[in-house]
């Protein structure tokens, strides 16, 4: 099991998301905060679940059962939510 990373900066969070996206979608691509997850990145419901589970494991936060996750439409939204959840957990 991966030890959750609670010390990363937003750019490190984006880098982690890029790594997970590349693994799930098998596409190496730089992600931009404005990228829409479904429309621009072509992430379907199964890939979304895989990405969220991988992010949960990597950062030690709950995303799949979190109602706030439903409001994430862009990469920037997801990175922001991850950073908020990690900050809440640290306090």
| Whole-number Å distance between alpha carbons of 45 and 83 | 23
Supply φ then ψ for residue 69, to 5 degrees.
Answer: -65, -30
* 14 found inside a domain: yes
Give the domain CATH number at 40: 1.10.1200.10
Interhelix angle for 10-25 vs 45-59, to 10°?
140
Q: In the structure, what pLDDT confidence band is assigned to residue 6 with cuts at 50, 70 and 90? A: very low
Cα-based distances in Å from 13 to 6, 35: 10, 15
In the chain, the number of structural domains is 1
pLDDT for res 89: 86
CA 56 from centre of chain: 8
Q: In the structure, what pLDDT confidence band is assigned to residue 11 with cuts at 50, 70 and 90? A: confident
Residue pLDDT, tens place only, 18-67: 999 999 999 888 999 999 999 999 999 999 999 999 999 999 999 999 99
């Amino acid at each position: 099991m991966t030890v959750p990373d609670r010390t990363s900066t937003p750019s490190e969070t984006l880098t982690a998301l890029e790594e997970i996206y590349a693994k799930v979608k098998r596409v190496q691509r730089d992600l931009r905060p404005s990228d829409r997850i479904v429309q621009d990145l072509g992430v379907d419901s199964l890939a979304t679940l895989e990405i969220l589970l991988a992010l949960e494991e990597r950062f030690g936060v709950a995303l799949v059962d979190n109602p706030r996750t439903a409001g994430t439409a862009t990469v920037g939204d997801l990175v922001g939510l991850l950073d908020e959840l990690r900050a809440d957990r640290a306090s």
